[in-house]
Amino acid sequence: MSDNLIEQLAAPRPADAGAVAGAVAALRERLAGAASAQGLVDVAFRTVETPVGALLLAATEAGVVRVAYPAEGHEAVLESLSVAIGSRVLRDTRRFDDLCHQLDGYFAGQRRHFEVALDLRLAHGFRLEVLEHLRTIAYGATETYAAAAAASGRPKAVRAVGTACATNPLPLLVPCHRVVRSDGTMGGYLGGLPAKQLLLDLEAAA
């Protein structure tokens, strides 16, 4: 048997390569699940495709700690989480199955509330107070930055409310997209104005 024929027989076929890739992915999932179950992961993460782009979802044992839009740079976000929370950052898609299902329902206009534990450790002081208030703004409703400032206990801190929204670590789950300017225009949004408009239109339609 020629050496060339032996090499051809030994080379993995496309189907074999696909099977190997699937087996490796499954092994990674099992290892990630085992590591999470044993408390060996500081931050678990995955990405999910949505109508507003690919979202990075990250969680600690306490709950979801970060939702990031593509414009924020997912790698940069993961790096910041490794510094702020812990260096043991691991991809774990199964951890987020329920949240992904809830996101599907939200974008289908069938869900108005997210039932998931949140870890708000990345927000502090007045910004945390603002985020706590934003969670009370009803689905389909909007509120001005000025009204949010007043409701958060500092009526003159309109710019600070804008900063809290712009640095919200949990967009969608903490609905900063429901905060608009006093003149009725949208204002800014860390996911981009097209994403904010889509979310507002989605909720208004539902």
Q: Looking at the annotation, which residues are catalytic?
A: 176
Strands, sheet with 53-59, edge to edge from the N-terminal-most edge strand: 64-68, 53-59, 43-50, 89-91
188 φ/ψ sector (left φ>0, alpha ψ -120 to 50, else beta): beta
How many C-alpha atoms does 125 have within 13 Å on its Cβ side?
Answer: 7
Select from 184, 185, 186, 183 the least CA-distant residue to 165: 186
Whats the size of the chain, residue-wise?
206
Residue 114 and residue 101 in contact, taking contact as beta carbons nearer than 8 Å: no
**For the chain, where are the E strands, in sequence order?**
43-50, 53-59, 64-68, 89-91, 143-144, 179-180
